[in-house]
Structure 1
Amino acid sequence: MTATTAHLRAGAEAASADLPGLILSAERLAAMVAPGAHGLRRAGMGEDFWQYRPAGIGDSARAIDWRRSARSDAQFVRDREAQSAQTARLWVSSGQGMSYSGSELRPTKLARARVLALALAMVLLRGGEKVGLLGHPARLGRAQSGPLAEQLLRRPMATGDGDAPKADELRPNQRLVILSDFLTDIDWVAPFLARAAALGVSGVLLQVLDPDEETFPFDGAVTFRSPSGGLRHDSHDAAGLREAYLMRLAERRDRLRRAAETAGWYFTCHSTDQAPAHALGWLYQTLGR
């Protein structure tokens, strides 16, 4: 057995071991959100009310809403909103930086991002939508949650602290959810979102951070190392760096928010010490806008 084969086998076995826990966590989280098919914002076959319009040629007496028509001299038809299976794609960063957790009592950023992604997929699948990871086929049916979980777990970690989705994997008129810490180079974000907008792809950027990365609680002499080992900084007064760090974090978030708004996307943040249900509900509701 070659070293490469052994490495792949070990990775597959590790992913399989984590699979039941990921699926169970995602199922519990998904159960907190009531699924429903997202409307297409036009009249058609569906269950939800869309609009009243004046009755015209071709409308049968059965189609007329007599209660609404009784309030005026005209006859009105009650249109429903068209609904059909839409397609959502998910992308979770596998940068080395996503493996960070500042406490054994908290999940890593990668673990939380995977659970959120899979739980969102489960809710969308229950609502009759097609779901797939970016670069993989999107399919219908609740049974797809198992393969999606495997794909999330078996995706290899990047060699560096960060990574980026591939613009050539975008497909027209879909929705995309990107989960990352966005702490490394984000020069790719604006051009990627511009390409997405040109293809009619809407979506969400969700920044997942550990509380230590939100507040920078460090003090005294601290050696900072990136998970990949590519960066190192020795500080004798870590508290003295706090203000500058928080300012740069705020500037980075403003940059991400502006890029999202320019492309018609949405941006928000989630900390791993927060309950994931709120983030999941926000993701689901935002995708339906």
Structure 2
Amino acid sequence: MIVTTAPRAKQVLREIWMPLALLFLWDVIVTIVYFVLPFRAPSLPLTLFGSVLALFLGFRSNSAYQRWWEGRGLWGLMINASRNLARMARNYLPDGEAVDLKRTIVLRQVAYVNALRCQLRRQPADQEVLRFLSRGEADYALARTNIANGIVDGTGRRIEIARSKGWINPMQQHSMESVLVDIANAQGGMERLKNTPLPMQFRFVPTAFTHIFCVLLPIGLVETLGVATPLGSTIAGLMFLAVLAIGDDLVDPFANTVHDLPLNSMCRTIEIDLLQSIGDPAPEPATPDKAGVLW
């Protein structure tokens, strides 16, 4: 996620130079043709076309942003649920014979959020997952199709073991299981966003109509703008292409691009909070890279 407030000229130019050059070239061609072979084009159809297209693109961008913000909200719930689980494990389980189980539950949750991060980004489980699990636990989780869900299942079994040994009572077990339910529900919501793209109509139709509009735009403006058509038409067309690109950037909040949610940073936040809750040394918070992107 880009966190700098100032626009980055290099990044902007890298993303827009190709459509900008194509738009300008087409506008120059239309302008030259107009002065060699003058023609008239009705302006009203283009005005109506642009108005309808703007509404369509605005609705699409709002839908994409809603998906992005829902993903951020689900990760906020995940952060809170992770803290709650660690606090319950620390306070409910006795310090004597259950101290190892207390640490195991907390460390498994750190491994879980990193495993979920990798799954949402379609990446294999990395060292941030494996280093918080013992060899046997890692093998069991990696054997599951849904690695993150396998880790949560293992945590649930350990909570049941704690109840069977009398370390926690049934009410405390119920409280901890409720937190695991919240974690599973948040994961399910994230998987729904990841596995359910916008309908084809929301992707194909706006893209096709935006490009058609950019092709027709200089034809409708050249009679009014004259030699300034390449400049005015290119800027106007670029605005529509920019709105189209915004929807594409936000539609998948877990795609691991500069526009998506900073999952690395949020997993680091959980890791810091949970390790400190059991008295272990914790890493430093994640910071933006030199380009101003928080991953």
1 or 2, which has the higher helix percentage?
2
**Higher RCO (Cα < 8 Å, 6 or more apart):** 2
Using the size of structure 2 for normalisation, the TM-score is 0.25
TM-score computed with the length of structure 1 as normaliser: 0.25
Structure number with greater Rg is: 2
Which structure shows the higher strand fraction?
Answer: 1
